[in-house]
Amino acid sequence: MNVPNHIAIILDGNGRWAKAKGMPRSYGHVKGCANLETICDDMKELGVKYLTVYAFSTENWKRSREEVEGLMKLFRSYLKKCLKIAERNKMRVRVIGDTKAFDQDIQDRIAQLEEFSKDYDELYFQIALNYGSRDEILRGVRRLAQDAASGKVKPEEIDEEIFESYLDTAGIPDPDFMIRTSGELRLSNYLLWQMAYTEFYFTDVAWPDFDKSELIKAIEKYNERDRRYGGVKGE
Ligand code: FPP
């Protein structure tokens, strides 16, 4: 089996999964969080090098105060637990997104986790928190414009490589494969620049139920695809 080098996942369906069980949405997030721990182990075992998950979007602040507070609580405990998961999997963890919006203690935990795991290289795990692709691009463009204005970058020299170095994902290869759970057929402002050539996989399975067998099923589908963008196919 040809395993994608970089898999991006939109973790969707925690709320509906919980509702179907007669439970509060927060229960779905707790189960979704637990599944995130397992999936890192599975990715490592299967030989995936990069995993990027969409855990909290720039739009998710619009959810009820109760739900947002519940998610923040979950992030706090997860970021702490993730030190062990990083050590176990020799996994480097990075957070992408505008993390300045989070409470200082959450920002500190992110910094601690990134520093702790920075030399691990067996799995590269990116967590998108307060992430939106348009926001990421705008933040990058603002910095790039400042560097152009100060003469650090010449406008005529700006190419894809230079532009990418201003994104949150600088240095991380583009995703080969994107999985979205729970039936929605949208990108929802996720890695728009980075996924120009990515293969997409949509499944009705809700995130808390997306286990290793579902992951293998998805990778098998990926293997059926002919990934020759722009070139002549079938040669
Ligand atoms: C989508 O389900 C999920 C989220 C907005 C949050 C994702 C969070 C987790 C998987 C758990 C915590 C993650 C970390 C990094 C600790 P939804 O609420 O949109 O479900 P619905 O579409 O059924 O309403």
For the stretch 61-112, pLDDT in tens is 999 999 999 999 999 999 999 999 999 999 999 999 999 999 999 999 999 9
Residue-level pLDDT at 233: 66
Residue-level pLDDT at 231: 73
CB atoms within 10 A of CB 37: 14
Rounded-to-integer distance, Cα 201 and Cα 216, Å: 12
Contact between 42 and 212 under an 8 Å Cβ cutoff? The reply is yes
Rounded-to-integer distance, Cα 124 and Cα 50, Å: 5
Ligand 1: centre distance to CA 152 (Å): 40
Residue-level pLDDT at 230: 74
Rounded-to-integer distance, Cα 60 and Cα 53, Å: 15
Q: How confident is the model at residue 235 (pLDDT cuts 50, 70, 90)?
A: low
Instruction: Please give the structure tokens belonging to residue 126.
Output: 């990116």
Ligand 1: centre distance to CA 4 (Å): 24
Known catalytic residue: 12? Answer: yes
Instruction: List ligand 1's pocket residues with C-beta within 6 A.
Output: 11-16, 29, 32-33, 36, 55-56, 60, 74-75, 78, 127, 182, 207
Question: Which residue's structure tokens are 């919006």?
Answer: 101
Known catalytic residue: 130? Answer: no
Question: Which residue's structure tokens are 């721990």?
Answer: 37
For 37-169, list the strands marked E by DSSP: 50-57, 91-96, 123-131
Residue-level pLDDT at 232: 73
Which run of H or E residues covers position 199? strand 199-202
User: Which whole number is the average pLDDT over 141-166?
Assistant: 98
Ligand 1: centre distance to CA 70 (Å): 11
Supply φ then ψ for residue 120, to 5 degrees: -75, 145
Residue among 232, 176, 229, 231 nearest 200 (CA): 176
Residue-level pLDDT at 1: 85
Rounded-to-integer distance, Cα 131 and Cα 9, Å: 13
User: Which whole number is the average pLDDT over 190-213?
Assistant: 98
Residues in CB range of 215: below 8 A, 6 or more apart: 39, 42, 43, 46, 179
Query: Among the options 2, 35, 42, 60, which is catalytic?
Result: 60
For 6-49, list the strands marked E by DSSP: 6-10
Rounded-to-integer distance, Cα 194 and Cα 33, Å: 25
